[in-house]
Structure 1
Amino acid sequence: MNKKLCLGAFMRPISLHTAWWRHPNAAPQANFDFPIIKDLVRKLEDACFDAVFLADHLAVMNMPTNALKRSGTITSFEPLTLLSALAACTTNIGLIATGTTSYEEPYLTARRFASLDHLSSGRAGWNIVTTVNTEAAYNFGLESARLHAERYERAGEFFKVVTGLWDGWADDALLMDKESGIFFDPEKIKPLNHKGKYFSVKGPLNIARPVQGWPVIALAGASDAARQMAAESADLVFGNARTIETARSFYKDVKTRAIAAGRNPDHLKILPANQVYVAATREEAYRKKQVMDDLVHVDSNLPNLSLKLGVDVSGFDLDKPLPDIPETEQSKGHQREWIALAQREGLTVRELAKRAAGSGIGEMIGTPSEVADQMEEWLLTEACDGFMMVFHSAPDGYDDFTSMVVPELQRRGLFRTRYEGGTLRDTIGLPRPDSRVD
């Protein structure tokens, strides 16, 4: 068996579990305490994780005050600033950050991620998002978020501009010849001269081509537009499958689209989100989950479900099944996933809200061997190429997984025991894009 898992770590926020910061051993300030974050990332690097991933929000989350005041996400670092600091105190682990195509400009995004790639010696990754949060729109002078179709059309042009700017430099453009006094070859740096529907960018970029050619490209989303863009453009695809059957369907669909787009499907890695509760016995692992879920206050339940469904559920009858939910401009894939869960298990609104109080993602619970069994099945039956791990608390969730599950995966030959190669593309097994400049 040659297949190995790709493991990323979702770290902004530190956990997606609503009550992570209330755990008895948790450091509630972990989201904005650099020494704590640095220690957690080094722990993941010691465990040979492929990368850490920092999501981003451009506004305070839109939820009722009674729920918001219980959220540990109200303050956190801007992700590229944080990853630049982490680049200086790590050596091998990849550093992936969200960058929006809805409210940024492509020149600035290209420059920032190229800078991070140089600062980290080739470990940067860009998670492309089409921001849907209306509160973010207000912070950028708009009255509402852009519609779904427009967001993805803009994102496609944005991606073309950013990668075109990276490719505007030949790898050998910098001569730095002291004897001749010539610092760079003007023939090796080309302006982009892009004029499109959303952007007009002359270029060239005023920083050398990224170490990796392009930083690793990541995308998330389950809508048709998101799947197509991922199939055509992404190196990593972040998913949110709660069952192995759903994961297999998503995996097959995106890989098939990649083949149709002329890509090698092995160069596109699909990583569903996964939260693990692990202990020496299954009973103890379930107790850990129960401890976390019992820490969630009732005020947080319904707003979390509203966010996942994209509609206000506060007026629904809590003890009846979920009513018909209209499709919205919010996260379409998440909405479908939660509606399917309610229908599959016959959950009332109250029961579904309780599920939403946790991380709202796929979970694996059991002993190290049982968790490894599940991860192995997902990998070998084409449900995933790895996982984006979400830890239920910090530091306990991080410690549990790295000390119990990782050694078992390594014993089975499913995960590396050391890093090979110098860049994130090397670690994941991805080709380096060629420059368009001779």
Structure 2
Amino acid sequence: MTNSSHLQDLARFIQASPSSFHAVAEVARRLTDGGFTELAESSAWPSDVHAAPGGKHFVIRDGAIIAWIQPAGATATTPFRIAGSHTDSPGFKLKPKPTIGNHGWIQAGVEVYGGPLLNSWLDRELEFAGRLVFSDGSSELVRTGPFLRFPQLAVHLDRGVNTDGLTLNPQVHMNPVIGVGDPSSADVVGHLAGLAGREGADVAGYDIIVADTAAPALFGLGEQFFASGRLDNLSSVHSSVVALLGVAETTLDAIPMLAAFDHEEVGSDSRSGAGGSFLIDILSRIAAGLGATEQQRLQAFAGSWCLSADVGHSVHPNYPERHDPANRPLVGRGPLLKINANQRYATDALGAAEFARACAQAGVSYQEFVSNNSMPCGSTIGPITATRLGIRTVDVGMPVLSMHSAREMCSAEDPAAFTAAIGAFLDPQRSAAPDLHLAPQVSAAD
């Protein structure tokens, strides 16, 4: 896949995935097209799931999905190679009793989800998207298309905004407008239910988020840059599914797996988050199907790897003082190896060596990221997975600017390079990827 076709495919993936539930549905669609079969957690799995070499399967738990390939000759001690990522992005979630209003405007009540840059959501055409659950137990995915907007106060009414700074109170100022009139005449939930051909009274629950509707785009000199909403972290989910679909089944000596979790942006502590039981449940069922004793299962885990894939920070040209002075990764120079002495990232020396091997095999350069000592470091699913399972984990990512904005940006070169590196991680026997035309890594002095 060339850089151009890869970016087009990434754009299609992001546009199909306004919510974590839509992202999982799109991953499942692609996997099904690639010969994978869905399994239900609530059902007994057929014996041929484990006996048939080359079997391809996936399991969905709400806004999370796990998929794997069963290699020929897999045994009770065959290790796993897991590409981990997350399906959610920072933003807003629809509150209960969401139809509100003020001074002739009809508005929607939303709650901040994760840590979005609030100002970046102003003056954009946004949509509601997510899951409706009905009183009969059925559920539907819905999306409105352009439907709401957070309008910014005009500069004429806030003369100091460009000198004193913009202050946004999430409760007071982040109530989007959806119409004009009497709020009692409107019904946000009813509108969403209508998209599914149902009545608002049928809705028993919902998980609805706000998403940017603008299409991804190339821009800059020679179209060097790619801009889109939800690069954090749909770019890693996309890279992982493309890489898994490209695995050569005949060369495997481990079980390659994709694990895309929900709720990373709010700490991962949920049944579909990395802090929940989803991954260990699936790994244990696979191991049991291979006849593993507890000791053999632990042997398999001891030989396993998890690649925690999430975006990372490129050096910002206008705020260089916010970055480590010696480690300043730049977009377009390859994926990031993320390191933190306090284990906010799970990378250790062995993990660094493993990622270096994968990048060399894929024919891409990579860069190291470490935080400025005076800046707190974010975290990922990596330390959670390493702690819960004892599987050696390495944190990596793709460099971006505007992280947690409604619209983030990366190099047009990096998504394909990151995908190639993940592919080499999942399949260490895979031949080197084609030349991706990456520029050489730049030293701190450059």
- Normalization by structure 2: what TM-score? 0.26
Higher helix proportion, which one?
1
Higher strand proportion, which one?
2
- Normalization by structure 1: what TM-score? 0.26
Higher relative contact order structure (alpha carbons within 8 Å, sequence separation ≥ 6):
1
